[in-house]
Amino acid sequence: MKNRLLQKLAWALLLGVLLVLPHLLPNNYYRGVVNLSLIYAIVAMGLNFIYGYTGYISFAQAGFFGVGAYTSALLVVDAHWGFWSALPIAGLAAAACGVAIGIPALKLSSHYLAMATIGFGIIIQMVMQNWERLTHGASGVHDIPSITIGTYNVDSAVGQYYFLLGFLALAMFVTWAIDNSKLGRSFKAVREDEIAASSAGIDLTFTKVFSFALSAFFGGVGGSLYAHTSSYISPDTFSFDQSIVLFTMVLVGGAGTVCGPVIGAIGLTLAPELLRFLKEYYMALVGVGIVLIMIYMPQGVVHLFSQDGRVGRWLQSVKQRSTR
Amino acid sequence: MKNRVNMMVVLFSLVISFLAAGCRSGSDTSGPIRIGQTVALTGERTSIGEYLAAGAKMAVDEINAAGGIKGRKVELIQEDSDDTNPAMVNAYNKVLSAKPVAILCNDVSTQNLAIAAIANKEKMPTFVGGTSPVLLQGNDWFFRFRPSDVLAAQASARFAVQTLGKKKVAIAHLTDDFGMAGRNFLTKYVTDFGGTVVSDESYNRLDRDFTAQLENIRKSGAEVIINWADTYTAATMMRQNKQLGINLPLIGSAAHGTPTTSKLAGEAAYGVYVVMDGVVAQVKDPKAEEWVKRFKQRYNKEPEFNATAAYDAIFLIKQAIENANGATDNESIKKGIFAIRGYSGIANIFKYENNGEGPRQVVIAQIQANGPIVKEAVKTE
Amino acid sequence: MLQLLINGLAMGAIYALVALGIVVIANAVNVVNFAQGENLMLGAFVAATLTLTFKLPILAAYVISVIVLAFYGYVFQRLAYYPLRQKPFITIIISTIGVSMFLKNIARIIWGAQPLYFSGLFGEKSIMIGRFAVNPQHLLILGITGVLFLFQHYFFNRTYLGRKMQATAQDQEAAALMGIKVSRMIAFTFIYSSMLAALAGVLLAPVFYVSADMGGMLGLKAFAASIIGGFGSVPGAILGGLFLGIVEILCAAYVSSLYKDAFAFIVLILVLALLPRGLFGEKISTKV
């Protein structure tokens, strides 16, 4: 009884904090970092589909992120579309790139796939940088208008927070729905054993390609949100290094779970800011941190707290001792 | 379910520690004057960032030793902008939260643009180290402390075509924002001054072999190369120009003349022309020479133009506040900056008048064994 | 055209040298060491310090650097690989990425952010053959890569230690059953790979300049080269590297220098799509 009451209280507290967070934060610096982590969370959730659920390594997520950002920004700035029409197209454009990678990837595995996705990501970035007539080239796209809902302009950090939180909630809901659906089970089946999955009647081609497309779609949507909340994008943001960070977010948070990528994204966006006092040492420490995390909690934070993770089991033992 | 609770505890603690990680009180009119600086202290551009940081710190310390600005001490708040747009935005916002009177930004134009919207919204006087011509378009709170690339391109083009008399010009450049914009202006000015661009070759920052580019340049019959590069690519171009036996006269962007590039290029740099903000080491200006001595004494290394520029920028802010009779609100500072009509910095002359185009001079120097020697100084009004 | 081929071949030899180090580890433990570029960078910095600060002759700096990196290779494997040896390879790969992040930043702190330069073994002047310039350092790189190819063939096929290492690479369990100390062989593999990295780093120093970022893209392209050549195969790594170097420079000269970096990856993707075994894939990596 007490347990469940405690749980309900905890949930209510969490919800409450989430709803008033921007007002609790002292200034736009904090709000800006939180908003950035929400965007990365959406993009990381996309990566979670292809890696966490389907089991394929993709280092192209920053490329999809970028395709979404550029598609949305260019449609609005150059073609004068509205944000709400541009957003789905941004997602679809990224998804199309996902399909473009997914199809040749069908016969590749592990090292080869990883390398191919790295290559794709780099090529996408070079196109963004060099196809000046379309993308404005290396100078980037500036003065991207903010999002409008009716007459309300989402251009303040507070407004953006609620907007992004809403999208994140939507993304989490979709992920949770897929997780419990036949599609989700197909993804996981492919991850566990392709041959068995295929014998069970799963269309491998469709599942794999769709998984890439779905990952890319989320990345593209995240990109569009990024473009319209930052008002400026340039190609150097969507680099292989960024793909590594996104991948690490999924891994550290917990691949294959709904909350994992979110936790990873928030953690890895907040961490460099928290560690600013370390000045030049902080990136070196992040590197060490990654090694330690791989050694001690390779399945991510979420797993750590679950039934058979270290913290989960420790808590179980504490609970048992206290009820003796 | 308990695991969810514990996760939330973890999240909470993250958020709490985040909040606790430094909250600065607002400024008042008698406390220290805060100036912010966002600069690369980590990441690939640290080699430039450390000069920007050093120049600014030296300036602040000297101002404080002389009594501060209107009796108030100056406090320099430096935040790392790493090498990405999001990191730059975070750094800028963090500095903003300390309520400075002005902020110095690093030399990367794309990163400067990333914070343009914030600068405009907060009306924060921002001194940008980027040289892209696009920077001042629509950004009323941006002020340059390094000359626009338009100036550099124009001077180089004219030097190549008219002074050196070489009409067939090859343009080699980086593929980043700096290189591409530079190429556009160089093409325009070369043609304007009566030359022709016979070759247009590019390379990216990490490229260390320009055989393909130089062979194409050789084939095009070019008589001179104008090279828009950074430290590494400048050194590579200077070396391979000699190594491959091409030996064309070379006019390079500012990076060609820095002490670091000279170390990388060695003898290959001799004879190369550089378009620089101002020549710190060899200009016959006792003030500049003395500054170089002070810098070397303090930091134990040769200064480069980024250090001088950042130093000048701090003093420009001081001048602006003094022009405004000590007022430090943003409108007064802006007016104070516009009142700067001929400030002589260490390596450049600054005149703001009614927009952010402050630095007015570039020089063309030739690198010799004992350092760059000025050949031509180009001023705009 | 000939000039392009000469320099393309030299660049290719560089890719081959780095690729060798990657393939050796990949064969032994089925792990791609994403920190190989940074190992190279360390080797270069060590040599730079020896020549610039301690004024040692360049050849001595080369040799000492390789030896230092041998020790480092042991430490690296003990700290970053050994604790993870049972884990899935993606975990290990991310761990090596963490190491590369650490090394890059620690190098910047130790040696400062400014790049360093020291000349090649034979000085800086090119040898002119007619109107074609040959950089002696490039010749050195090509020569050493060739020697290494022969050496590796001899070492891995003819010496006892080499064959033990090969056996470990092919099947760890079987090797253990044969009485081979597997963990020791793995340690040797990492040591050898680090020595290769050091060699690449010191040879490259005058061409790439010594900086914390010198290794990143190089490591990636070398990995791509080894896949193009046929992943898991030593001749494949070398030939893939040479092939990539030449293709890259030709495309940059005749197609577009703007996309030079992309060509390596375009070729990679084409090869993966059309020839999944790579150009010379003789040994199919069954550990995939």
The pLDDT of residue B11 is 63
Q: pLDDT tens digits, residue range C75-119?
A: 988 888 888 887 887 888 888 989 999 999 999 999 988 999 988
Distance from the Cα of C146 to chain B's closest Cα (Å) equals 21
Residues in B closer than 8 angstroms to C113, CB to CB, are 46-47, 49-50
Q: Is 80 exceeded by the pLDDT of residue C233?
A: no
Mean pLDDT of B242-256: 92
Q: What is the average pLDDT across B193-204? A: 93
Q: What percent of chain B has pLDDT over 70?
A: 90
Chain B, chain C: beta-carbon pairs less than 8 Å apart: 87
Q: Are the C-beta atoms of A256 and A185 separated by less than 8 Å?
A: no
Cα–Cα dist C240/C279, whole Å: 8
Residues of chain C in contact with residue B245, where contact means CB-CB under 8 angstroms, are: 126, 128, 131, 133
Nearest to B211 among C117, C213, C249 (CB): C249
Residues of B in contact with A132 (CB under 8 A): 180
Query: Best residue in C265, C271, C288 to probe A by mutation, most A CBs within 10 Å?
Result: C265
Q: What is this structure's pTM? A: 0.91
Tell me how many residue pairs between chain A and chain B have CB atoms under 8 A apart.
157
Best-predicted range by mean pLDDT among A208-212, B236-240, C259-263? B236-240
The residue of A112, A133, A252 whose CB has the most chain C CBs within 10 angstroms, and thus the best one to mutate to test that interface, is: A112
The pLDDT score that the predictor gives to residue A225 is: 96
B208·C116 Cβ contact <8 A = no
Residues 26..85 of A with a Cβ closer than 8 Å to B: which?
26-30, 32-33, 36
Residues from C in contact with B at Cβ < 8 Å? 3-4, 7-8, 11, 105, 108, 113-117, 119, 124-126, 128, 131, 133, 135, 207-209, 211-213, 216-217, 249-250, 252-253, 257-258, 260-261
Chains in touch with C (3+ beta-carbon pairs under 8 Å) read: A, B
Per-residue confidence (pLDDT) for residue B370, from 0 to 100 = 75
Q: Quick check: B245 and C128 CB within 8 A?
A: yes
pLDDT category at B24 given cuts 50, 70, 90 is very low
Arithmetic mean of pLDDT over chain A: 88
Instruction: Find the helix packing angle between A2-24 and B2-20, rounded to 10°.
Output: 30
* pLDDT the model gives residue B26: 46
Cβ contact, residue pair A139, B109, below 8 Å: yes
- In sign, the C-alpha dihedral spanning B267, B269, B273, B276 is negative
pLDDT tops 70 at residue C73? yes
Report residue B14's pLDDT band, with 50, 70 and 90 as the boundaries: low
User: Is the pLDDT reported for residue C153 higher than 70?
Assistant: yes
Residue B131 and residue B42 in one domain: yes
Does C288 sit within 8 Å of A107, measured CB to CB?
no
Q: Locate tokens 């919207």: which residue? A: B117
pLDDT band, very low/low/confident/very high, at C123 (cuts 50, 70, 90) = confident
Cβ contact, residue pair A104, C83, below 8 Å: no
What would the mean pLDDT of A27-45 be, rounded to a whole number?
95
Residue A121 banded pLDDT, cuts 50, 70, 90: very high
Q: Do both B73 and B134 map to the same domain?
A: yes
Mutate which of B180, B200, B227, B243 to disrupt the C interface (most C C-beta within 10 Å)? B243
Provide the domain count of chain B: 2
Does B248 score more than 90 pLDDT? Answer: yes
In this prediction, residue A124 has a pLDDT band, given cuts at 50, 70 and 90, of: very high
Min mean pLDDT across A212-216, B16-20, C243-247 is at: B16-20
Contact A196, A45 (CB under 8 A): no
Based on the fold, state whether residues B308 and B335 are members of the same structural domain: yes
Q: Where are the domains of chain A?
A: 2-15+30-323
Exposure letters B236-266 (e unless 16+ CB within 10 A, then b):
bbbbbbbbbbbeebbbbbbbbbbebbbbbbb
Mean per-residue pLDDT for B269-291?
79
> DSSP character for A13?
H
SS3 of residue B145 by DSSP: coil
Residue percentage of chain C with pLDDT more than 90: 30
Q: DSSP letter for B161, please.
A: I
Regarding whether B227 and B257 lie in a shared domain, the answer is yes
The answer as to whether B94 is a domain residue is: yes
Q: How far is C61 from chain A (nearest CA, A)?
A: 27
A278: pLDDT strictly greater than 90: no
Report whether B36 contacts B77 (CB < 8 A).
yes
Evaluate the CA torsion angle C251, B272, B167, B175 in order and state its sign. positive
Type and span of the H or E element at C79: none
pLDDT score for B9: 62
Contact assignment for C115 to B264 by CB distance below 8 Å: yes
Asked if A299 reaches chain B (Cβ–Cβ under 8 Å), the answer is no
Cβ–Cβ gap B211/C135 under 8 Å: no
pLDDT digits 0-9 by tens, C35-52: 999 999 999 999 999 999
Task: Give the per-residue pLDDT at B3.
Answer: 55
Question: Which residue of C209, C220, C221, C265 to mutate against B (max B Cβ within 10 Å)?
Answer: C209
Q: Which pLDDT score, from 0 to 100, does residue C27 have? A: 80
Are residues C124 and B211, on separate chains, in Cβ contact within 8 Å? Answer: no
pLDDT in tens, B151-169: 999 999 999 999 999 999 9
Q: Do A287 and C102 touch (CB under 8 A)?
A: yes
Identify which of B203, B211, B260 has the shortest CB distance to residue C3: B211
Structure tokens, B66: 């002389």
Q: pLDDT band at residue B7, thresholds of 50, 70 and 90?
A: low
Any residues with CB less than 8 A from the CB of A227 and at least 6 apart, and which?
A68, A69, A70, A72, A73, A141, A144, A233
Residue C276 or B269, more confident: B269
Q: Which residues of B touch A312 (CB under 8 A)?
A: 2-3, 6
Report the pLDDT averaged over residues B334-360. 88
Distance from CA of B42 to the nearest CA of C (A): 8
Residue B81 in any domain: the answer is yes
* Residue C6 per-residue DSSP state: H
How confident is the model over C60-72, as pLDDT tens digits? 999 999 999 999 9
- Distance CA(B313)–CA(B361), nearest Å, equals 15
CATH code of the domain covering residue B114: 3.40.50.2300
Mean pLDDT of C3-8: 88
Provide the pLDDT for residue B223: 95
Q: Domain for residue B10, yes or no?
A: no
> Across residues A192-217, what is the average pLDDT?
85
pLDDT tens digits for range C170-197: 777 888 888 888 888 888 889 999 999 9
No. of H helices and E strands in chain C? 11, 2
Report how far residue B60's alpha carbon sits from residue A50's, in angstroms, rounded to the nearest whole number. 51
Q: Which domain holds residue B202?
A: 150-276
Summarize pLDDT for A224-275 with one digit per residue, the tens. Answer: 999 999 999 999 999 999 999 999 899 889 888 888 999 999 999 998 888 8
* Of B324 and B6, more confident: B324
Contact residues on chain B for A282, CB-CB shorter than 8 A: 42
Condensed to tens digits (0 to 9), the pLDDT of residues A4-15 reads 788 788 888 888
| Cβ <8 Å between A122 and C265 | yes
CA dihedral A220, A225, A226, A230 (to 10 degrees): 150
Q: Please state which of the ranges A202-211, B277-286, C15-24, C184-193 shows the lowest mean pLDDT.
A: B277-286
On whether both B261 and B197 belong to a single domain, the answer is yes
The architecture (CATH level 2) of C2-274 comes to: Orthogonal Bundle (1.10)
Q: DSSP alpha helices (H): ranges in chain A?
A: 2-24, 28-47, 61-77, 83-105, 110-130, 132-135, 157-179, 182-192, 194-199, 204-230, 240-253, 260-274, 282-296, 301-305, 310-322
Residue A295 CA from chain centroid, whole number = 23
Q: Confidence class of residue C283 from pLDDT cuts 50, 70 and 90?
A: very low
- Cβ contact B240:B210 at 8 Å: yes
Give residue C285's pLDDT band: very low, low, confident or very high (50, 70, 90): very low
ipTM of this complex prediction, to 2 decimal places: 0.91
- Say whether pLDDT at B23 is over 50: no
Is it the case that residue B280 has pLDDT exceeding 70?
no
Better-predicted residue by pLDDT, C285 or A42? A42
Residue B10 banded pLDDT, cuts 50, 70, 90: low
pLDDT at B27: 47
pLDDT at B276: 87
Q: What is the pLDDT of residue A113?
A: 86
Model pLDDT, residue A280:
77
Residue A112 pLDDT exceeds 60? yes
**Residues in A touching B46 (Cβ below 8 Å):** 280
Chain C residue at shortest CA distance from A120:
C265
What is the distance in angstroms between the Cα of C270 and the nearest Cα belonging to chain B? 23
- Residue A37 and residue A161 in contact, taking contact as beta carbons nearer than 8 Å: no
d(CA C65, CA C44): 8
Per-residue pLDDT of B103-114, as tens digits, reads 999 999 999 999
